[in-house]
Amino acid sequence: MSAAQRPPLRVEQALRLLPDVDALAPLRAFLISTSRARAPAEPYRTVGKRFVQPGHLREAVPLAVSRITDHLAGLFDSAVQALECEQRGDLSGAVYALLAAGEREERVGRLAQAFTWCDHALRLAAELNDRRAEIDTLLRLGHLERIRLRQEDAARFYQRALALADAEMDARAAAVACRGLGEAALGQARWQGAESWFTRGLQYTGEEGLAGRLQLGLGEVSRNRGRLDEAEARLRRARELLEALQDVGGLVRLLNAWGQLEAARERQAEALAAYREALAKLPSLGRHPRLEMAVRLNISELYIEWGRLPEAEDELRRAEEEAILHNVPRFLARIYVMLGQARARQRDDAGFVFFEKAIELCRGSDPLPHLEAEAYLEYALFRRELGDTDEARAYLERAREILESVGDGNTLARVDAALALVERH
Amino acid sequence: MTVSPGVILPGPDHGVHGLRLLGVGEDSAVFRELERCAESEGAALERVRDAAAALRAIARESWNAVMVLLAQDPDEQLGWWADVLRNMPRRPRLIVMAPGPSIGFALRAAQLGVFEVLPVPVGRERGRDLLRRLRTQEEEVVLPLPGVRPVQMGPHEMVSECPAMLPIFRTIAQVAPSTAAVLITGESGTGKELVARAVHQHGPRRDGPFVAVNCAAIPENLLESELFGHEKGAFTGAVARKVGRFERAHLGTLFLDEIGDMSLALQSKILRVLQEREIERVGGGEPIPVDVRLIAATNRDLKRMMGEARFREDLYFRLAVVTIALPRLADRGEDLIALTAYFLGEFGKRAGKAFAGITDRAADLLRGHEWVGNVRELRNVIERAVLVAEGDVLRAEHLPEEWRTDSDLIPETAARPVITLKEIEARHIQRALDHTQGQIGDAAQLLGVHRNTLARKIREYGL
DSSP 8-class letter at B322: E
Which stretch of A256-265, A292-301, B139-148 has the lowest confidence by average pLDDT?
Answer: B139-148
Residue A113 lies in a domain: yes
More confident residue, A165 or A27: A165
pLDDT beyond 60 at B412 = no
Q: Report the domain count for chain A.
A: 3
Closest by Cα among A71, A64, A132, A66 to A102: A71
If asked whether residues B278 and B408 sit together in one domain, one would say no
If asked whether residues A348 and A425 sit together in one domain, one would say yes
Closest-CA distance, B449 to chain A, in angstroms, reads: 47
Q: Answer yes or no: do A280 and B83 touch at CB < 8 A.
A: yes
Packing angle, helices A91-107 and A132-147, rounded to 10? 20
Judge whether A115 and A141 are in contact, CB under 8 Å.
yes
Closest by Cα among A403, A130, A310 to B379: A310
Identify which of B58, B219, B377 has the shortest CB distance to residue A48.
B219
Boundary of a domain, candidates A86, A106, A138: A86
pLDDT beyond 50 at B4 = no
pLDDT beyond 70 at B77 = yes
Residue A380 lies in a domain: yes
Residue A307 lies in a domain: no
Buried-state track B86-124, b at ≥16 Cβ within 10 A, e below 16:
ebbbbbbbbbbbbeebeeebbebbeebbbbbbbebebee
Judge whether B216 and A49 are in contact, CB under 8 Å.
yes
Q: What is the pLDDT of residues A7-41, one digit of tens each?
A: 788 898 899 899 988 888 888 888 998 898 865 55
If asked whether residues B313 and B356 sit together in one domain, one would say no
Q: Answer yes or no: do A356 and B220 touch at CB < 8 A.
A: no
- Which residues in chain B have their CB less than 8 angstroms from residue A40's CB? 372-373, 376-377, 380
Closest-CA distance, B217 to chain A, in angstroms, reads: 5
Question: Looking at residue B182, what is its pLDDT?
Answer: 95
- Please give the model's pTM, rounded to 2 decimal places: 0.74
Residue A243 lies in a domain: no
The dihedrals phi and psi of B24, each to the nearest 5 degrees, come to -130, 120
Which stretch of A291-300, B61-70, B318-327, B439-448 has the lowest confidence by average pLDDT?
Answer: B439-448
Cα B78 to its chain centre, rounded Å, is: 28
- Which residues in chain A have their CB less than 8 angstroms from residue B372's CB? 40-41
If asked whether residues A77 and A181 sit together in one domain, one would say no
User: What is the rounded average pLDDT of the residues A342-361?
Assistant: 92
More confident residue, A269 or A226: A226
Chain A touched by B187 (CB under 8 Å): yes
Residue B141 lies in a domain: no
| Shortest CA distance from B373: residue in chain A | A41
Boundary of a domain, candidates B325, B342, B363: B325
Which stretch of A45-49, B96-100, B153-157 has the lowest confidence by average pLDDT?
Answer: B153-157
Residue B211 lies in a domain: yes
Q: Letter for the amino acid at B426?
A: A
If asked whether residues A50 and A8 sit together in one domain, one would say yes
Distance CA A280, CA A256 (A): 12
Q: Quick one: how many helices (H) and strands (E) in chain B?
A: 19, 19
pLDDT beyond 60 at A300 = yes
More confident residue, B380 or A206: B380
Question: Looking at residue B302, what is its pLDDT?
Answer: 94
Residue B132 lies in a domain: yes
If asked whether residues B125 and B174 sit together in one domain, one would say no
pLDDT beyond 90 at B418 = no
Q: What is the CATH number of the domain that holds B359?
A: 1.10.8.60
Name the pLDDT band for A3 (thresholds 50, 70, 90): low
Question: Looking at residue A134, what is its pLDDT?
Answer: 96
Distance CA A219, CA A202 (A): 13
If asked whether residues B199 and B260 sit together in one domain, one would say yes
Q: What is the CATH number of the domain that holds B275?
A: 3.40.50.300
Which stretch of B106-110, B138-142, B146-150 has the lowest confidence by average pLDDT?
Answer: B106-110
A9 three-state secondary structure: strand
Q: Answer yes or no: do A353 and B376 touch at CB < 8 A.
A: no
Tally the residues of chain A. 425
| Shortest CA distance from B241: residue in chain A | A391
Question: Looking at residue A102, what is its pLDDT?
Answer: 97
pLDDT beyond 60 at B14 = no
Q: Which domain holds residue A36?
A: 1-86
Q: Answer yes or no: do A280 and B241 touch at CB < 8 A.
A: no
Q: What are the residues whose beta carbons fall under 8 Å from the beta carbon of B17, sequence distance 6 or more? A: B42, B135, B138, B139
Residue B188 lies in a domain: yes
Q: Report the domain count for chain B.
A: 3
Cα B364 to its chain centre, rounded Å, is: 13
Which stretch of A248-252, A406-410, B143-147, B304-308 has the lowest confidence by average pLDDT?
Answer: A406-410
Closest-CA distance, A8 to chain B, in angstroms, reads: 12
Distance CA A220, CA A215 (A): 9
User: What is the rounded average pLDDT of the residues A273-296?
Assistant: 86
Boundary of a domain, candidates B325, B341, B361: B325
Q: Answer yes or no: do B216 and A398 touch at CB < 8 A.
A: no
Closest by Cα among B363, B369, B385 to B328: B369
Judge whether B220 and A48 are in contact, CB under 8 Å.
yes
Q: Please give the full DSSP string across B222-273, using - where no structure is assigned.
A: HHHHHHHEE-TTSSTT--S-EE-HHHHTTTSEEEEETGGGS-HHHHHHHHHH
Cα A234 to its chain centre, rounded Å, is: 24
Q: Answer yes or no: do B373 and A12 touch at CB < 8 A.
A: no
What number of C-beta contacts closer than 8 Å exist between A and B? Answer: 106
Residue B147 lies in a domain: no
pLDDT beyond 60 at B255 = yes
Name the pLDDT band for B16 (thresholds 50, 70, 90): very low
- Which residues in chain A have their CB less than 8 angstroms from residue B193's CB? none
If asked whether residues B131 and B216 sit together in one domain, one would say no
pLDDT beyond 90 at B319 = yes
If asked whether residues A65 and A130 sit together in one domain, one would say no
If asked whether residues A70 and A102 sit together in one domain, one would say no
Question: Looking at residue A56, what is its pLDDT?
Answer: 87
pLDDT beyond 80 at A200 = yes
Question: Looking at residue B161, what is its pLDDT?
Answer: 83
Distance CA A173, CA A132 (A): 9
Boundary of a domain, candidates B325, B340, B358: B325
If asked whether residues A74 and A130 sit together in one domain, one would say no
CA–CA–CA angle B330, B335, B340 (5° rounding)? 100
If asked whether residues A118 and A199 sit together in one domain, one would say yes
Judge whether B228 and B269 are in contact, CB under 8 Å.
yes
Q: What are the residues whose beta carbons fall under 8 Å from the beta carbon of A242, sequence distance 6 or more? A: A209, A212, A213, A216, A250, A251, A254
CA–CA–CA angle B80, B81, B86 (5° rounding)? 105
Judge whether A343 and A354 are in contact, CB under 8 Å.
yes
If asked whether residues B232 and B122 sit together in one domain, one would say no
If asked whether residues A46 and A22 sit together in one domain, one would say yes
Judge whether A304 and A341 are in contact, CB under 8 Å.
yes
- Residue among B61, B218, B236, B381 with most chain A CBs within 10 A, to mutate: B218
Q: Answer yes or no: do B80 and A281 touch at CB < 8 A.
A: yes
Chain A touched by B151 (CB under 8 Å): no
Name the pLDDT band for B333 (thresholds 50, 70, 90): confident
Residue A180 lies in a domain: yes
If asked whether residues B427 and B350 sit together in one domain, one would say yes
Q: What is the CATH number of the domain that holds A96?
A: 1.25.40.10
Q: Answer yes or no: do A41 and B189 touch at CB < 8 A.
A: yes
Which stretch of B55-69, B94-108, B145-159 has the lowest confidence by average pLDDT?
Answer: B94-108
Judge whether B330 and B137 are in contact, CB under 8 Å.
no
If asked whether residues B178 and B317 sit together in one domain, one would say yes
If asked whether residues B343 and B229 sit together in one domain, one would say no
Name the pLDDT band for B107 (thresholds 50, 70, 90): low
If asked whether residues A389 and A403 sit together in one domain, one would say yes
If asked whether residues B189 and B93 sit together in one domain, one would say no
Average pLDDT, chain A: 91
User: What is the rounded average pLDDT of the residues B198-213?
Assistant: 93
Residue B362 lies in a domain: yes
Residue A77 lies in a domain: yes
Distance CA A148, CA A144 (A): 6
More confident residue, A87 or B128: A87
If asked whether residues A72 and A97 sit together in one domain, one would say no
Residue B292 lies in a domain: yes
Judge whether A379 and A359 are in contact, CB under 8 Å.
yes
Sign of CA dihedral A219, A222, A226, A231: negative
| Shortest CA distance from A308: residue in chain B | B387
Average pLDDT, chain B: 83
Q: Answer yes or no: do A273 and B59 touch at CB < 8 A.
A: yes
Q: Answer yes or no: do B384 and A311 touch at CB < 8 A.
A: yes
pLDDT beyond 50 at B416 = no
Closest by Cα among B349, B405, B348 to B382: B348
If asked whether residues B275 and B345 sit together in one domain, one would say no
Q: What is the pLDDT of residues A34-85, one digit of tens each?
A: 898 865 557 788 999 899 989 888 888 898 899 899 999 999 999 999 999 9
What strands lie across the sheet with B142-144, from one edge to the other?
B142-144, B357-359, B393-394
Residue B156 lies in a domain: no
Boundary of a domain, candidates A205, A220, A253: A205
Among residues 248-287 of chain B, which lie with CB inside 8 Å of chain A?
261
Name the pLDDT band for B120 (thresholds 50, 70, 90): confident
If asked whether residues B368 and B350 sit together in one domain, one would say yes
Residue A306 lies in a domain: no
If asked whether residues A114 and A170 sit together in one domain, one would say yes
Strand partners, B212: B255
- Which residues in chain A have their CB less than 8 angstroms from residue B236's CB? 363
Q: Which domain holds residue B420?
A: 331-461
Residue A215 lies in a domain: no
Q: Letter for the amino acid at A59?
A: E
Boundary of a domain, candidates A177, A205, A233: A205
If asked whether residues A101 and A187 sit together in one domain, one would say yes
Which stretch of A139-148, A268-277, B148-157 has the lowest confidence by average pLDDT?
Answer: B148-157
- Which residues in chain A have their CB less than 8 angstroms from residue B212's CB? 350
Name the pLDDT band for B11 (thresholds 50, 70, 90): very low
Chain A touched by B79 (CB under 8 Å): yes
